[in-house]
Structure 1
Amino acid sequence: MSTTAPNPIHLTVDMSFQNAHMNIKAYVSTLIGVPGRTLGVMVTPLTVKYVCYDTECIRIDLITKTCFSPNWIIGLSSDLQQVAGSLACIQEVLSTVLQDTEDVLSGKVSADNTVGCFLMSLVNQVPKIVPDDYETMLNSNINDLLMVTYLANLTVTDCPQRDTCKPVNGP
């Protein structure tokens, strides 16, 4: 049995990754004509908004990097490498913001009130944490992570007496 949507959306996906972006366009078709007689179809472009979960973003970034790799092979990066990459991006953005702010203060560039309001809003969103409290919180999270890793490794190890080891489910 086949079903069709009354008003389907048509997608075009350009996988050439021009400018390091996967280009997706969407269209919807509308019948045109006179009452009682259809003469054709009009295709109208739609606005496409990319929304994805963090895990999906990681996969899309991996596909993009693979496209530009000379041998089309690229390995998965470790969690630490991903954190380092994210921090490098944040540092680059902060350097750009700092340079733009210095240009405004020195008079090289005229001030833009919308940018100033956005920066002020961004600064106000950063939680104010005492450095000692932050360090305690970070150490606690690291200890929790190490404990979970240790327990996970314990469950993976083989039992030396595999035949006699039985799960404890009760009497």
Structure 2
Amino acid sequence: MALNLVVKVHPVVLYQIVDAYERRNADSHRVIGTLLGTSDKGVVEITNCFCVPHKEHADQVEAELNYAKDVYELNRRVNASENIVGWWATGNEVTNHSSVIHEYYARECPEPVHVTLDTSLAGGRMGLRAYVCAALGVPRGRQGAMFTAVDVRLTAYEPEIVGMQLCQKTMGPGGRSRQVQPAADLALVAAATSRLWGTIDQLLAYVEEVLAGRAAGDSAAGRELLQLVQLVQGMPSLRGDALAHGVKDLLMVVTLAQLIKTQLQLNEKLTLLTSQ
């Protein structure tokens, strides 16, 4: 059992779990499913998941395992790099049936992880936890299982970050949702540049406070800043004309794309008129 295991969860997994919980049957109090991703050198990265229909009784658990296998095989055709790494369940605790479900996933992958997501929003937030399981008991005696919490973190690819930022803009005043459209390329570049300048201003203010003795220095932050400065020194100098050429190239590509789109639309209309 690897207690130093790190579990990294992508935002799309959380959205899929919440969607499965919202679509559950009226008599289902808990939803479970399979976690897909990769496991390498003590890091489990969860990039996908799907729901597995099941029913929990007082003394047993009924799950549609054939359905789970079929969905996993279909997913393998789309993304062969995603393997079974564990299972998930809604709720904020490990139940008596969790060990039974965990035994099945222990046969599907080595050292599966168990992730719980509190969809009831207890405490005003959605609690995310990850566990590993170890067998307990004496030889030829009564066996049990113990779930131990491990480190769980949220991670995201760059496209996922853009999607998350766009989703945040859909929340209007008073908790009402609104429709938003993705910004143009130049607007995204301008927004990213503005955020970068804001971050640089915060760094400069922090360094000035430390040098003036008004704030305590952080050695970890100092090492990060030193590494950042070394990276900047190794970059080639950007002159104004080079930046201008880059903007011109971007505008040329956008213009050509619009011309090609217009040409295709004209071609479709001419083809339609000719066929008539």
TM class by shorter-chain length? 0.7 to 0.9
**Distance across 2 between alignment mates of 1:153 and 1:46:** 55
Q: 1:10 Cα shift?
A: 1.7
| Aligned mate of 2:212, from 101, 106, 117 | 106
For residues 36-66 of structure 1, what are the alpha-carbon distances to aligned partners after superposition, in whole Å with 9 as ceiling and x for unaligned?
Answer: 2344221111222333322222333344554
How many residues align? The count is 163
For residues 86-117 of structure 1, what are the alpha-carbon distances to aligned partners after superposition, in whole Å with 9 as ceiling and x for unaligned?
Answer: 33432332221111111123222244454333
Question: Match for residue 5 of structure 1?
Answer: 105
Question: Match for residue 169 of structure 1?
Answer: none
**Is the CA contact (8 Å cut-off) linking 2:169 and 2:180 kept in structure 1?**
no
* Higher alpha-carbon deviation: 67-76 or 3-12: 67-76
TM (norm. structure 2) is 0.48
Q: Which runs of 5+ in 1 are unaligned?
A: 166-171
**Is the CA contact (8 Å cut-off) linking 1:31 and 1:38 kept in structure 2?**
no
**Distance across 1 between alignment mates of 2:228 and 2:137:** 52
Correspondence list, 1:1-171, <5 A: 2=66, 4-6=104-106, 7-14=111-118, 16=121, 23-66=127-170, 70-79=175-184, 80-126=186-232, 127=235, 128-157=237-266, 158-160=268-270, 162-164=272-274
Q: Report 1 or 2 for greater relative contact order, CA contacts < 8 Å, sequence distance ≥ 6.
A: 2
Q: Which runs of 5+ in 2 are unaligned?
A: 1-64, 70-103
TM (norm. structure 1) is 0.72
**Distance across 1 between alignment mates of 2:118 and 2:258:** 41
**Distance across 2 between alignment mates of 1:32 and 1:149:** 66
Identity of aligned residues (%): 22
CA RMSD of aligned residues (A): 3.2
Larger strand percent: 2
Specify the SS of the correspondent of 1:42: strand
Instruction: From the superposition, tell whether residues 53 and 115 of structure 1 become closer, same or farther in structure 2 (CA, over 3 Å).
Output: closer
> Greater Rg, structure 1 or structure 2?
1
